[in-house]
Amino acid sequence: MASINKRLLKELADARREPSAELVALGPASDADLLRWRAVLRGPRDTPYAGGLFELRIDVPKQYPIQPPALSFVTPVCHPNVHFETGEICLDILKTQWSPAWTLASTCLAVHVLLADPEPSSPLNCDAANLLRCGDALGYRSLVSLYTRMHASGGG
């Protein structure tokens, strides 16, 4: 457990030293538990998520970084690869493509990229994915913008 704490404290120091425009906040949810983190992503520019702030819950397994963290959205998100009710995220690096080279910050940035570039062929939200699959980009953007205004414009 000491090595995981050392790694997580280093990641926290690195995130504070090198802030990014996309990742508004990253750190432990409380001082008492270093295995539960919170992140806030800024909605990607030039997407229907722009202007939104999206909170993520990060559960770090005791086998980290050998095993990937579990990330889920706390803020409701309308996205083909995010389950609207649970916040579960379908992203290969959170499952089969995980590598210990990833950090919590880089994993959050990968989720940020996913927001801007959905993959409708592996949906957790079939309604959003079907809009993209049938070529209704306007409908998709309108739906996502509505949910972003409703749930993420106040910070999540």
For strand 23-30 and strand 33-42, is the pairing parallel, antiparallel, or unpaired? antiparallel
Alpha-carbon gap, residue 49 to 152, rounded angstroms: 8
Alpha-carbon gap, residue 15 to 106, rounded angstroms: 10
Which candidate in 78, 90, 108, 126 is catalytic?
Answer: 90
DSSP string for 99-129: -TT--HHHHHHHHHHHHHS--TTS-SSHHHH
N-terminal to C-terminal alpha carbon distance within the chain: 32
Per the annotation, the verdict on 108 as an active-site residue is no
Alpha-carbon gap, residue 40 to 22, rounded angstroms: 9
Active site residues: 90
